[in-house]
Amino acid sequence: MARAASVQEFLSRRRIAVVGVSRDRRSFSRSVFAELRRRGYDAVPVNPLGGEVDGVSFVRRVQDMDPPAEGALLLTPPAVTTEIVKDCAAAGIPRVWMHRGAGVGAASAAAIDFCRAHRIDVVEDACPLMYLPETGFVHRAHRWCREHLARRAPNARPSAPA
Protein backbone atom coordinates (compact mmCIF):
# COMPACT_ATOMS: atom_id res chain seq x y z
CA MET A 1 0.00 0.00 0.00
CA ALA A 2 1.39 3.45 -0.87
CA ARG A 3 2.29 5.73 2.02
CA ALA A 4 -0.63 8.14 1.53
CA ALA A 5 -3.12 5.28 1.54
CA SER A 6 -1.47 3.69 4.59
CA VAL A 7 -1.56 7.00 6.47
CA GLN A 8 -5.22 7.54 5.60
CA GLU A 9 -6.14 3.96 6.49
CA PHE A 10 -4.40 4.22 9.87
CA LEU A 11 -5.90 7.59 10.79
CA SER A 12 -9.40 6.46 9.75
CA ARG A 13 -9.37 3.93 12.61
CA ARG A 14 -10.59 5.06 16.01
CA ARG A 15 -9.20 2.51 18.51
CA ILE A 16 -5.45 2.86 18.61
CA ALA A 17 -2.88 1.37 20.96
CA VAL A 18 -0.30 4.03 21.73
CA VAL A 19 2.72 1.94 22.68
CA GLY A 20 5.49 3.58 24.64
CA VAL A 21 3.57 6.41 26.25
CA SER A 22 5.83 7.64 29.00
CA ARG A 23 4.81 8.07 32.61
CA ASP A 24 6.81 11.33 32.51
CA ARG A 25 4.42 14.27 31.96
CA ARG A 26 7.08 16.17 29.96
CA SER A 27 7.54 13.43 27.36
CA PHE A 28 6.57 14.08 23.74
CA SER A 29 4.77 10.73 23.79
CA ARG A 30 2.30 12.22 26.26
CA SER A 31 1.61 15.09 23.85
CA VAL A 32 0.88 12.69 20.99
CA PHE A 33 -1.40 10.61 23.21
CA ALA A 34 -3.27 13.70 24.47
CA GLU A 35 -3.75 15.07 20.94
CA LEU A 36 -5.19 11.79 19.69
CA ARG A 37 -7.61 11.70 22.64
CA ARG A 38 -8.56 15.36 22.06
CA ARG A 39 -9.45 14.50 18.48
CA GLY A 40 -11.78 11.71 19.52
CA TYR A 41 -9.57 8.69 19.09
CA ASP A 42 -10.03 5.86 21.56
CA ALA A 43 -6.30 5.94 22.25
CA VAL A 44 -5.16 3.35 24.79
CA PRO A 45 -1.76 3.88 26.42
CA VAL A 46 0.52 0.85 26.51
CA ASN A 47 3.43 0.71 28.96
CA PRO A 48 4.79 -2.49 30.56
CA LEU A 49 5.26 -0.65 33.87
CA GLY A 50 1.55 0.10 34.21
CA GLY A 51 0.13 3.20 35.86
CA GLU A 52 -2.10 5.80 34.28
CA VAL A 53 -1.93 8.88 32.09
CA ASP A 54 -4.52 11.65 32.14
CA GLY A 55 -6.91 9.41 34.07
CA VAL A 56 -6.57 6.50 31.61
CA SER A 57 -5.00 3.27 32.88
CA PHE A 58 -2.11 1.81 30.92
CA VAL A 59 -2.39 -1.69 29.56
CA ARG A 60 0.87 -3.59 29.85
CA ARG A 61 0.77 -5.28 26.40
CA VAL A 62 -1.28 -4.76 23.24
CA GLN A 63 -2.65 -8.27 23.70
CA ASP A 64 -4.32 -7.09 26.93
CA MET A 65 -6.61 -4.61 25.14
CA ASP A 66 -10.31 -5.43 25.18
CA PRO A 67 -11.70 -4.74 22.67
CA PRO A 68 -8.56 -5.07 20.54
CA ALA A 69 -6.90 -2.15 18.77
CA GLU A 70 -7.43 -1.41 15.09
CA GLY A 71 -3.92 0.01 14.87
CA ALA A 72 -0.84 0.58 17.00
CA LEU A 73 1.25 3.72 17.13
CA LEU A 74 4.75 2.80 18.27
CA LEU A 75 6.69 5.43 20.22
CA THR A 76 9.34 2.93 21.22
CA PRO A 77 13.11 2.68 20.79
CA PRO A 78 14.04 0.71 17.65
CA ALA A 79 15.68 -1.95 19.83
CA VAL A 80 12.28 -3.07 21.17
CA THR A 81 10.09 -2.33 18.15
CA THR A 82 10.51 -5.80 16.64
CA GLU A 83 9.15 -7.41 19.81
CA ILE A 84 6.24 -4.95 19.83
CA VAL A 85 5.27 -5.74 16.22
CA LYS A 86 5.33 -9.43 17.12
CA ASP A 87 2.91 -8.60 19.95
CA CYS A 88 0.76 -6.69 17.44
CA ALA A 89 0.67 -9.74 15.16
CA ALA A 90 -0.30 -11.96 18.11
CA ALA A 91 -3.09 -9.51 18.99
CA GLY A 92 -4.37 -9.42 15.39
CA ILE A 93 -3.54 -5.73 14.90
CA PRO A 94 -3.44 -5.21 11.13
CA ARG A 95 -1.61 -1.86 10.97
CA VAL A 96 1.21 -0.13 12.82
CA TRP A 97 2.74 3.31 12.69
CA MET A 98 6.40 3.49 13.68
CA HIS A 99 6.74 7.07 14.88
CA ARG A 100 9.59 9.27 13.84
CA GLY A 101 9.87 12.90 14.77
CA ALA A 102 13.17 14.72 15.06
CA GLY A 103 15.10 11.72 16.42
CA VAL A 104 15.87 8.22 15.18
CA GLY A 105 12.29 7.06 15.57
CA ALA A 106 10.82 3.67 16.34
CA ALA A 107 11.48 1.86 13.05
CA SER A 108 14.03 -0.87 12.58
CA ALA A 109 14.69 -2.89 9.44
CA ALA A 110 13.82 -6.11 11.28
CA ALA A 111 10.48 -4.69 12.49
CA ILE A 112 9.55 -3.45 9.01
CA ASP A 113 10.49 -6.79 7.46
CA PHE A 114 8.42 -8.62 10.09
CA CYS A 115 5.38 -6.44 9.33
CA ARG A 116 5.67 -7.01 5.61
CA ALA A 117 6.11 -10.77 6.08
CA HIS A 118 3.00 -10.89 8.28
CA ARG A 119 0.86 -8.59 6.12
CA ILE A 120 0.78 -5.81 8.70
CA ASP A 121 0.39 -2.45 6.99
CA VAL A 122 3.17 -0.17 8.23
CA VAL A 123 3.79 3.57 8.21
CA GLU A 124 7.30 4.57 9.16
CA ASP A 125 9.50 7.65 9.15
CA ALA A 126 6.75 10.10 10.13
CA CYS A 127 4.76 11.50 13.01
CA PRO A 128 0.96 11.16 12.85
CA LEU A 129 0.60 14.77 14.04
CA MET A 130 1.95 15.82 10.63
CA TYR A 131 -1.07 14.19 8.92
CA LEU A 132 -4.00 15.03 11.17
CA PRO A 133 -6.54 17.43 9.64
CA GLU A 134 -6.14 21.05 10.71
CA THR A 135 -2.88 20.32 12.46
CA GLY A 136 -0.65 23.13 13.68
CA PHE A 137 1.83 25.01 11.52
CA VAL A 138 4.88 23.30 13.04
CA HIS A 139 3.53 19.86 12.15
CA ARG A 140 2.53 20.94 8.63
CA ALA A 141 6.00 22.43 8.10
CA HIS A 142 7.62 19.25 9.42
CA ARG A 143 5.58 17.21 6.95
CA TRP A 144 6.51 19.47 4.05
CA CYS A 145 10.20 19.27 4.94
CA ARG A 146 10.08 15.50 5.35
CA GLU A 147 8.28 15.00 2.04
CA HIS A 148 10.12 17.53 -0.11
CA LEU A 149 13.55 18.30 1.26
CA ALA A 150 14.53 14.76 2.27
CA ARG A 151 14.15 13.58 -1.33
CA ARG A 152 16.70 16.13 -2.50
CA ALA A 153 19.30 15.60 0.21
CA PRO A 154 22.32 13.51 -0.80
CA ASN A 155 22.47 10.22 1.11
CA ALA A 156 18.92 10.82 2.35
CA ARG A 157 17.11 7.84 3.72
CA PRO A 158 14.73 6.66 1.01
CA SER A 159 11.10 7.09 1.92
CA ALA A 160 8.00 5.38 0.70
CA PRO A 161 6.16 7.18 -2.07
CA ALA A 162 3.53 9.67 -0.92
In a domain, 107, yes or no: yes
What is the per-residue pLDDT for 146?
Answer: 62
23-63 pLDDT tens trace: 888 888 998 999 999 999 999 999 999 888 888 999 999 99
In a domain, 158, yes or no: no
- The CATH number for 52's domain is 3.40.50.720
pLDDT < 50 positions in the chain? 137, 142, 152-162
Over the range 1-24, which residues count as b (16 or more CB within 10 Å of their CB) and which as e?
A: eebeebbebbbeeeebbbbbbbee
Burial zone of 91 (CB within 10 Å; 0-12 exposed, 13-18 middle, 19+ buried): middle
In a domain, 9, yes or no: yes
In a domain, 134, yes or no: yes
What's the pTM value of the predicted model, to 2 decimals? 0.83
In a domain, 132, yes or no: yes
In a domain, 127, yes or no: yes
Quote the number of domains for the chain: 1
Q: What is the DSSP letter of 69?
A: P
Is residue 28 within a helix (H) or strand (E), and if so which, with residue range? helix 28-38
In a domain, 83, yes or no: yes
Enclosing domain of residue 90: 3-152
In a domain, 161, yes or no: no
